[in-house]
Structure 1
């Protein structure tokens, strides 16, 4: 982090600017030539210097600590949390039931890899493509059901 000393515009024309080790810049108003030489600072001559001021944190708004805890006033009432958990459980159980019904329908239609041929499937490749899509859909449904069951397992018992 570079430390820059700011000075008024009229003093900038008269002051010598030094570049010290660690990219620290200072002016002759802050340091004498002898001190600059002792610290290993080199004078900058003829080079324009751009000074960019950073924003300082406001004293009234301290940066919150990243402790991961919430303030005491933001805690949820245990009864309200149980109600939320119960709602979440009911929603997940209904989703699980719907997905299991869809899976059963897909498996019935798939017929162990030999679904009924449709009239528009005179080309055997179309039939094979539809069969592969059905198998992929069954795999996705099984994955969805497993995910819902994992979410249900995370909830406290009702």
Structure 2
């Protein structure tokens, strides 16, 4: 058996060398980027040139399978089913009623904030002997009034859009 060991070892080394060469050769196969974002290594250099493909050098390629998106539903219902005209009118009326109630609530809150703000001269509170503390509260009130005015304006725009059938 000692006579076969060196021969067997050399055959094993030769086989390993061939496998290594084959794997290096597979890695050296050029990858082409063709028009339409098609990446392939199945073309010859002549075929790739004929199709307008460019060789990618040294860039690893990762292929991710994607799922085609479903066509967008054309209904107003979250479930995807069609909504009748009467149901849609009822929904629109509900939306308008909710927006009007929200607008009234926000307008009342804005009026209360504006009254308390007193055009930038709110009454001092007992713990505001320090002028800076008073000024900080006035600035916070001004910002709150500005936000509330923006909220009211947004609700009015939405209500106008709901009324016009958008």
Q: Same fold (TM over 0.5)?
A: yes
Which residue number in structure 2 is paired with residue 25 of structure 1? 41
- Separation of aligned partners in 2, 1:53 and 1:109: 63
Structure-2 change in CA distance of 1:40 and 1:109 (3 Å): closer
Unaligned runs of at least 5 residues, structure 1: 1-12, 42-51, 58-62
- Ranked by relative contact order (alpha carbons within 8 Å, sequence separation 6 or more), the top structure is 1
Within a 5 Å distance, the mapping from 1:43-82 to structure 2 comes to 63=68, 66=71, 68-70=72-74, 74-82=81-89
TM-score by length of 1: 0.61
Q: Deviations over 1:32-85 (max 9, x none)?
A: xxxx6x8489xxxxxxxxxx886597xxxxx4565x4527x7221111111111
- Runs of 4+ more than 6 Å apart: none
3-state SS in 1 of match to 2:120 = coil
Cα distance in 2 for residues equivalent to 1:108 and 1:142:
14
RMSD across aligned positions (CA):
3.7
- Counterpart of 2:140 in structure 1 is 133
Q: Give the aligned length.
A: 122
Instruction: Give the SS at the match of 1:143.
Output: helix
Alignment gaps of 5+ in structure 2: 1-21, 34-39, 49-61
Change in Cα spacing, 1:55 to 1:118, as seen in structure 2 (3 Å) is closer
